[in-house]
Amino acid sequence: MRLLILINSLDCLGENDAALSSAFRRFGCQVVLGEINAIAADDYRYFTRGVLVPQNAEPYAPGAVAPWSRETYFLDECQLIWVLGSPQAGVYRDVWRMLWLASQQTPFVNSIEGLVFLNSKHAMGYLVPKEHRVFSYISNDFATLWERYQQAPDQRWVAKPPNSGCGQNVFLLPENGPNVRTILQCLTGNTVAQSEMDYGGLGGFKAEYAVLQKFIPEVAQGEKRIIVTCGEVVAWHGRQGHPNDHRSNITQGGKAIPVDLNSDEVKLAGVIGKKLMAHGINFAAMDMAYPYIIEFDLGFPGGLYDAKLISGVDRSDRAAELIIARFKKHWSSD
């Protein structure tokens, strides 16, 4: 079986690229690492630039450069494709559309529909049972968000964009905070100021969406990053925030720590994992501060690598095993 993993760059391999390509090779699979932003078509056959990882290649670390020869690989010559990268803004629409067309012929670990429509904070209300999600208000109108905040002046809130990750522009809004109005204006595009500077709005539509979400005290006890594969919890670790920051993201100075999962946490993660599978998402990460789900990461979720670092146990083999079993029917008759 040949697996094509589509990644951001062959010159700086990510943590999933390293762990999962090694795991699949241990199961005897051919692994091609291809660049997601190099998708192209030859008479509507889709291909990309990539490298075939030698079966006997030594395991490599995140950040490494793929040392093997760059070649052209057609997507329809692979038995399985895994998107573990994100198209750049300038080619975003073209790449997703070509990948969706390719997925009509070749199975994808995570469906294009799921990655495009569910990899967002907007999807929380659909994927997570009401009792396990935090109340959120979403708008691109500053006035409505500001009004909502003022209706509960003693409530602490979190404000953030709906389509960002790694803790970008996530603000903790205190009760009656003096900078809250400014923060909400900023997150929604500073439309009033922009309109004034554009002489009445000649510069075009400027509004941007923001999420106003109730702050929950459970996060103070720490969040847990959980990796789910084909509906099964395969890896997890705790995240401890930086002492000078309310965010626990590893990229923002948070620290991965060892934790246990109780049966309720495992059950909730499995329920959501099964719902994701119904939409073609077979590998995902979620951040949990039980009983709440805080975030999802469906694109190229981190967690396997950090879980291995703190526990000494590499759980990427279990992820690979589950995915091979799920998709084996697609190539067993070839």
pLDDT in tens, 14-30: 989 989 999 999 999 99
**Letter string b/e over residues 169-180, b meaning 16 or more CB atoms within 10 A of that residue's CB:** ebbebeeebeeb
H or E segment at 24? Answer: helix 15-26
The token pair that represents 186 in the structure block:
């900023």
Q: Edge-to-edge, what's the strand order for the sheet holding 171-173?
A: 136-139, 210-214, 157-160, 171-173
Q: Give the pLDDT score at 167.
A: 66
Is residue 57 over pLDDT 80?
Answer: yes
Q: Greater confidence, 105 or 195?
A: 105
Distance of CA 73 to the CA centre of its chain: 25
Q: What is the pLDDT of residues 181-229, one digit of tens each?
A: 999 999 999 887 666 666 555 566 778 999 999 998 888 777 899 999 9
* The total number of residues written for the chain in this structure: 334
Identify which of 306, 327, 331 has the alpha carbon closest to the alpha carbon of residue 316: 306
Is residue 242 over pLDDT 80?
Answer: no
For 274-333, the DSSP string reads HHHHTTTB-EEEEEEETTEEEEEE-SS---HHHHHHHHS---HHHHHHHHHHHHHHHHTT
Lowest mean pLDDT among 10-14, 77-81, 254-258: 254-258
Cα–Cα distance for residue pair 289/307, rounded to 1 Å: 17
Is residue 255 over pLDDT 80?
Answer: no
Residue 206's identity, in one-letter code, is: K
Distance, first Cα to last Cα, the chain = 10
Q: Greater confidence, 252 or 154?
A: 154
Cis peptide before 291 (omega within 30 of 0): yes
Cα–Cα distance for residue pair 36/50, rounded to 1 Å: 9
Cα–Cα distance for residue pair 249/167, rounded to 1 Å: 6
